[in-house]
Amino acid sequence: MARGRLGRRRMAVNDRYVESRKRFPPPLRGFLPSGPILSPVAPGQALANSSILQRRIDTYLGIAAGIAAPLVYASAVIAGGWVTPGYSHLASTISELTTAGQPYAEQLDDVFVPYNLLLACFAACLPVSLSAARQTAIRADAAVLLVLSLAGVGMVTIFPVSAPGLPLTPTARMHIILAAIASISTMLAIALTAYALWQARGWRLFTRFSAMCLAIVAGSGIWTATAVAGGQPLAGLAERLTIGTFMAWLLAFALTLAASAGRSRDA
């Protein structure tokens, strides 16, 4: 009798869920399970449905963060260069936007930090979102992206770069070290992603794009290092080629993940 009452209660919950689901707009409705969320006879199935729903939420949270992160970063760089007097996108590095004395350094810090937090959120959701990938590689990839986001936070908050023409301070030297860590992490993240997803269904085109991005980042990274060290007039362009390639890769990664999640939902 108790089992019968439990079954009736579960059926009532399912009926309320189905009616509530109809109130969501169609785009959001697709993220929710279409069938009953509780089984009248199999409590274990209800737990499985709950796990699927949580995994789907984590996946789309990571996708949203991965799409937003490069857009936030690009907006900050473009707007910062526009409002900073004497700043050149061709000659000046991005870090110079937040050096001491710049009129909008604090405001730009308030944008660059959320970018790094979005990147960390995307990284944290990867192992759940890519269960079909090589898990050891994708977990290492997530860890590398987390290191990259931490280095980014450190560069814009605790260890800003010195203004051009001034001697290097210990803080500026630490900024250079973190920049080197970020550069290595960028290339390692792209390489690990390509390796983890090379044989995954629906990811072949993206892995080839990753290989191309890796080559560009490696080549432009060397150019950036020599241009910044030598004070060359195109140092800003070299850095933007490196970082811009990574931003394009990150956006493509998130969009491909969204397409993959859509195929899995429809399967």
Write out pLDDT tens, residues 158-198. Answer: 888 877 777 778 888 999 899 999 999 999 999 999 999 98
Both tokens of 35, joined, read 């069938």
- 32 falls within a domain: no
> Residue 100: pLDDT band by 50, 70, 90 thresholds?
confident
How many domains is the chain partitioned into structurally?
A: 1
pTM of the model: 0.79
Domain that holds residue 202: 2-24+40-266
Mean pLDDT of 241-251: 97
- In this predicted structure, the answer to whether residue 126 has a pLDDT above a threshold of 80 is yes
- 221 falls within a domain: yes
Query: Which residues 6+ apart lie within 8 Å of 119 measured at CB?
Result: 65, 69, 145, 148, 149, 152, 250
> Residue 152: pLDDT band by 50, 70, 90 thresholds?
very high
Q: What is the pLDDT of residues 40-99, one digit of tens each?
A: 545 554 444 556 667 778 888 999 999 999 999 999 999 999 999 999 999 999 988 988
- 125 falls within a domain: yes
Query: Which residues 6+ apart lie within 8 Å of 202 measured at CB?
Result: 256, 259, 260, 263
Better-predicted residue by pLDDT, 40 or 228: 228
pLDDT for 2: 46
Rounded-to-integer distance, Cα 253 and Cα 251, Å: 5
- 34 falls within a domain: no
